[in-house]
Amino acid sequence: MDRPILSSALLFWSSSFNCFHLLCGAMSVNLFDINSLTRLPCTGEEISALLTMPPGVDSDHKDLKPSYPTFVRSACDHSLTKEFIPLAVALAHNRCLALGPFLLAYLYKSCQDVTVYPLGNSSGPLWILQLWLYSYFPTLVPVLFAILGYDLLSYGLMFKDATENKKTFEECFKFFASFPINRLDADFAMFLNRSHGPSWYKADIQSPDFRAFWSVCVTS
């Protein structure tokens, strides 16, 4: 976790509007960003408290197999927390879930938690926010290995082998506090060129798959 960048950026986070308030205007993570960075689907069955498990599945998850999705397990001991059991079971049974909106909502909650609790005591997918900050503020990005010519599955993979950030909290805070007002329009939409991703993502905007995906993004 890049603590200097995350902790300094979150000082400008508004939990009321789920966005950063910077001199250049309001900025926030959206569904298009989530899909571009992670390739998690934005369409499918909605994930909510009504998500149920199939009949006969053990609710105490004692018999969970290693094949269950690892990203819903605890980072400490790789066990499943109770709140994620229905989600893990649904994914293991190949149900088509709208993981993008779920992850975005979870990220918003995590950002709110950081405004109340210390960063080290907060949980949630703050790594998504780190990838987003690297994408939209490239001058803060640690040194990357050359990726020119590679067709990546997602934009997030661009930062897989990034070196450790050497900037201090003070440097990052000054960067966000004095960010230029005259930011270019293109700098507010870093993934619109759709250079990295599956074929449907890079297809013509009139294609059925992309139109279905885009309709979810603009109505969320």
Write out pLDDT tens, residues 27-37.
999 999 999 99
Token pair 């088509």: residue: 96
CA separation (Å) from 2 to 7, 51, 61, 164, 196? Answer: 8, 34, 33, 8, 24
Task: Report the C-alpha gap between 110 and 76 in whole angstroms.
Answer: 18
pLDDT computed for residue 67 by the predictor: 47
Could you tell me if residue 57 is left (phi over 0), alpha (psi between -120 and 50 degrees) or otherwise beta?
beta
Rg (CA), the chain: 19
Among all chains, which residue has been given the structure tokens 């507010």?
Answer: 188
Band of pLDDT at residue 156, cut at 50, 70 and 90: confident
Q: What is the pLDDT of residues 86-126, one digit of tens each?
A: 888 888 888 888 899 999 999 999 998 888 777 666 668 89
Among the residues of 57-168, which ranges form H helices?
85-92, 99-114, 126-136
3-state secondary structure 200-217: HHHCCCCCHHHHHHHHHH
Sign of CA dihedral 176, 123, 38, 212: negative
In which order are the strands placed within the sheet that holds 19-22? 13-14, 19-22, 25-27
pTM of the model: 0.81
Q: Is the dihedral of CA 78, 6, 110, 118 positive or negative?
A: positive
Please report, for residues 54, 121, 137, 158, the alpha-carbon distance to residue 146 in angstroms, rounded to integers and kept in the order given. Answer: 46, 35, 18, 9
Which residue would you say has higher pLDDT here, 164 or 220?
Answer: 164
